[in-house]
Amino acid sequence: MLNTNEFQNSIQKTKEEAFREIDQENRLEGLEQIRVKYLGRKGIITSLLKNLKDFPEEDRPALGQLSNQLKKQVEEVLLQRAEKLKEIQLTLKKGRWFLDYTLPGRKGWVGKLHPVTQVNERIIQIFYGMGFEVAKGPDIETDYYNFSSLNFPQDHPARDMQDTFYINDDILLRTHTSPVQVRVFEKTEPPVRIIAPGRCYRNEAINSRSYCTFHQVEGFYVDTDVTFADLKGVLTAFVWEMFGKDVKLRFRASFFPFTEPSAEVDISCILCSGKGCSVCKHTGWLEILGAGMIDPAVFDAVGYDSEKFTGYAFGMGVERIAMLKYGINDIRLFYENDLRFLRQFQL
Ligand code: PHE
């Protein structure tokens, strides 16, 4: 037998439970079951009312009022919920959208350019601002444009099956954007100042640093009196624009068949400012591109007068630049199309 206080608590508890059950019920039949459970002949509220007679006379009016109030409230909430459910059923029947305001919101994502595309466009924009025009060449190339015309000896290891995807003996997927140099030279007389973005392919082992396809941006300038100093100037301006003015450049002597002299260009590590970290392998420097003065043999192949003209060329990997710019440690991420990755580039 409950005392007065316990009876009041029990009313409060019953009320909370009934309201919660009603609120969570999504079927009309379920609501009927709840009604029986609380208000039926043997229902919880009905028995509470029946028990009233056991309480002291002076307490009965207050407790009676509470119990009757509870009964009314539960009836009312049951009715409201039933109406709501009927309305939902009707809406669904009509095939209309039903808006459930209680569901958590969903963000409306807007499609954006792929990070590689964004960086590619930024590179082009910077060189466009320095007077370069855009040219393009085909992804499927001949051995001549990809190699021979660029002064690769017949037995050069880069022609090896390991690095190049051959379609047949003569046709291949370009391994770099340098063939665009030759295609432009064949059609245009100097001066030419060109930037040539495009996709390249290499039959290399796939790992966090290299992938079977990637993008390059080739740049070249041919005129009378073009010097290595011009090359340094234009690349320095580019790096400062791309990574900021406190980044240093280093030109290391290197070799490419189509440039002489050739250089590989490093920038001071943008992650550790040159102090040494895992990304720059504790050297303080990051290689970002290959460059050099165009070899006279290339000019001979396209009929330019190599006594009269000089020119520089450079080629950079777009993914590499994007990885440095955004601190991405695995090139494969660019090609997996995982939205969790791509959505971070809503610039
Ligand atoms: N084509 C070279 C490469 O893919 C890069 C390069 C371009 C070097 C132009 C010098 C001049 O590695």
Q: What is the pLDDT along the chain (347 residues), one digit of tens a residue?
A: 678 888 889 899 999 999 999 999 999 999 999 999 999 999 999 998 888 888 888 888 888 898 999 999 999 999 999 999 998 888 877 776 667 778 888 878 888 899 999 999 999 999 999 999 999 999 999 999 999 999 998 888 877 766 899 999 999 999 999 999 999 999 999 999 999 999 999 998 999 888 999 999 999 999 999 999 999 999 999 999 999 999 999 999 999 999 999 999 999 998 888 888 888 889 999 999 999 999 999 999 999 999 999 999 999 999 999 999 998 989 999 999 999 999 998 75
Residue 8 lies in a domain: yes
CA 307 from centre of chain? 48
- For CA atoms 133, 136, 142, 147, the dihedral sign is positive
Are 318 and 194 in the same domain?
yes
Ligand 1 contacts (CB < 6 A) are 176, 178, 218, 256, 259, 290-292, 313-315
Q: Helices (H) and strands (E) in the chain — how many of each?
A: 11, 9
Domain that holds residue 161: 115-342
Asked whether residue 192 falls in the same domain as residue 328, the answer is yes
Q: How many domains does the chain have?
A: 2
| pLDDT score, position 69 | 93
pLDDT at 215: 97
Q: Which atom of ligand 1 is nearest to the CA of 290?
A: 8
* Cα of 274 from ligand 1 centre, angstroms: 25
Q: Indicate which residue's Cα is closest to atom 7 of ligand 1.
A: 315
Residue 51 region, left (φ>0) first, then alpha (ψ -120 to 50), else beta?
alpha
| Residue 149 identity (one-letter amino acid) | S
For atom 12 of ligand 1, the residue with the nearest CA is 290
Ligand 1 atom closest to the CA of 262, numbered from 1: 10
In a domain, 100, yes or no: no
Same domain for 122 and 78 = no
Question: Would you state the torsion angle of the CA atoms of residues 135, 140, 142, 146, taken in this order, to the nearest 10 degrees?
Answer: 60
The whole-number pLDDT of residue 92 equals 79
Residues 59 and 196 in one domain: no
Determine the distance separating the centroid of ligand 1 and the alpha carbon of 292, expressed in angstroms.
Answer: 8
11 and 130 share one domain:
no
Distance 148 CA to ligand 1 centre (A): 15
DSSP run (H or E) holding 195: strand 192-201
pTM of this structure: 0.71
The answer to whether 8 touches 2, Cβ cutoff 8 Å, is no
Residue 298: CATH number of its domain: 3.30.930.10
C-alpha distances out from residue 10 to 4, 70, 90, Å: 10, 11, 37
Distances (CA, A) of 154 to 110, 150, 171, 298: 50, 11, 15, 15
CA atoms within 13 A on the CB side of 76: 7
Q: State residue 49's pLDDT score.
A: 87
Could you tell me if 211 and 151 lie in one domain? yes
